[in-house]
Structures are given as structure tokens and as C-alpha cells.
């Protein structure tokens, strides 16, 4: 959990969620085999749950590789201090995308990433989050020189937006890390 405060929202189940959240939770359950606690918290607001899932779907269609997308989400979560999302994205990288542990460990330790292109990506995400959207010309130029496009500067903002929503919800209402994600912490 992010801090010792009591959760503002109670996680919802398919049975307890508002009517408009139920079909979205059912789809999540079917796709993942469980409903992550963060999605159960989002279910308190059908509008936010649907908006988050829609934005995530659009983000997944972008030009970044699956590993790059998860690096964006992990780096933003770390900068925002979200333990829940850090665990979730570390799990996705390690278990599902088979990313090297050294890569995930470097991002989590706020150390340079061995691959120069991935390092430029993580560096830009960190700076954008830390500086609230302001990134130095040198950092942006490094991102572009590493082989990314100008359009991808904007595209990574979708990942930052996703994490702003989920990380801030976790700050307002600390979310218990799911057992499936807690394994990444060991």
C-alpha cells in the first residue's frame, strides 16, 4: 500500500459493483482470470473504469513494443511512488513479456538501463513525470536520437496519463497488491 491511511474506496466485485461497471469487470475477469484490486477500486465509478479501460486499449494499439509500453508504465509508476502499479508492471515485464530481470531491476533502482534506446525512453518518462510535463531539450533530443519518433513523444503521454489516473487513485485509496503481482516483489 502507498501509505497507512484507510482506503477511500472499497474494492467492488461483479456482485457489488454499480450496474454499468459489471460488464467491464466481467470482461476483465474473463481475460485475466481474476479482477485486479485496482480495477475493483475503479469499479466504484463506471465512468472512470470505462475511461481507463478505453484509454488502455488505445495505448495498446500504439507504436511502442509491448516491453516499451510496460517500461513507460513502470517508470511513471515509480516516479509517482505507486507500489501497486510498480508490482503489477514488474510482473507483466518479468512473467509475461520475459524481459530480463536486469532491465526491470535497473528501472526499479532508478539506474541507467543497459540498452541505450530503452534508457532514453525511461529517462524521458521519468523526467516528464517528475517535472510535470516539462522535459529538457537534451532529454527529448536523446529520445529522438535513440531512434524514436516525434509522434512517440506524444504517444508516451498516454502511458503517463494512464499511470497518473491509477497511481493517484492508489494514493487516495491505497490498494492491496494482488497475490499475482506480489510475486514480482520477491
pLDDT surpasses 80 at 61: yes
Mean pLDDT of 20-35: 97
- Using CB atoms within 10 Å of the CB of residue 53, give its burial: 0 to 12 exposed, 13 to 18 middle, 19+ buried: middle
Q: What value, to the nearest 5°, has the Cα angle with vertex 37 and ends 161 and 6?
A: 90
For the entire predicted model, the pTM comes to 0.94
46 and 86: one domain? no
In a domain, 4, yes or no: no
pLDDT surpasses 80 at 63: yes
Q: How confident is the model at residue 1 (pLDDT cuts 50, 70, 90)?
A: very low
What CATH number is associated with residue 82?
A: 1.20.1290.10
Q: Which domain holds residue 51?
A: 19-60
In a domain, 138, yes or no: yes
Of 134, 33, 119, 39, nearest in space to 75 by CA: 119
**84-113, pLDDT tens digit by residue?**
999 999 999 999 999 999 999 999 999 999
**110-125, pLDDT tens digit by residue?**
999 999 999 999 999 9
83 and 135: one domain? yes
75 and 139: one domain? yes
In a domain, 100, yes or no: yes
In a domain, 5, yes or no: no
For the chain, the average pLDDT equals: 95
In a domain, 7, yes or no: no
31 and 80: one domain? no
24 and 44: one domain? yes
84 and 167: one domain? yes
Report the number of distinct structural domains present in the chain.
2
In a domain, 1, yes or no: no
pLDDT surpasses 50 at 2: no
28 and 81: one domain? no
Amino acid at each position: 500500500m502507498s501509505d497507512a491511511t484507510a482506503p477511500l474506496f472499497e474494492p467492488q466485485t461483479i456482485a457489488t459493483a454499480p450496474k454499468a461497471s459489471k460488464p467491464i469487470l466481467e470482461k476483465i475477469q474473463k481475460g485475466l482470470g481474476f479482477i485486479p484490486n485496482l480495477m475493483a477500486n475503479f469499479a466504484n465509478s463506471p465512468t472512470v473504469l470505462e475511461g481507463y479501460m478505453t484509454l488502455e486499449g488505445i495505448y495498446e494499439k500504439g507504436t511502442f513494443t509491448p516491453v516499451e509500453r510496460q517500461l513507460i508504465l513502470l517508470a511513471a509508476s515509480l516516479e509517482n511512488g505507486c507500489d501497486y502499479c510498480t508490482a503489477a508492471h514488474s510482473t507483466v515485464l518479468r512473467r509475461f513479456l520475459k524481459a530480463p530481470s536486469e532491465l526491470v531491476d535497473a528501472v526499479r533502482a532508478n539506474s541507467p538501463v543497459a540498452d541505450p534506446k530503452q534508457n532514453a525512453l525511461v529517462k524521458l518518462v521519468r523526467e516528464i513525470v517528475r517535472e510535470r510535463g516539462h522535459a529538457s531539450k537534451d532529454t527529448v533530443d536523446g529520445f529522438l536520437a535513440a531512434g524514436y519518433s516525434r509522434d512517440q513523444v506524444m504517444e508516451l503521454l498516454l502511458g503517463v496519463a494512464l499511470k497518473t489516473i491509477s497511481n493517484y487513485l492508489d494514493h487516495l485509496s491505497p490498494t492491496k497488491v494482488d497475490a499475482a503481482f506480489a510475486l514480482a516483489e520477491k
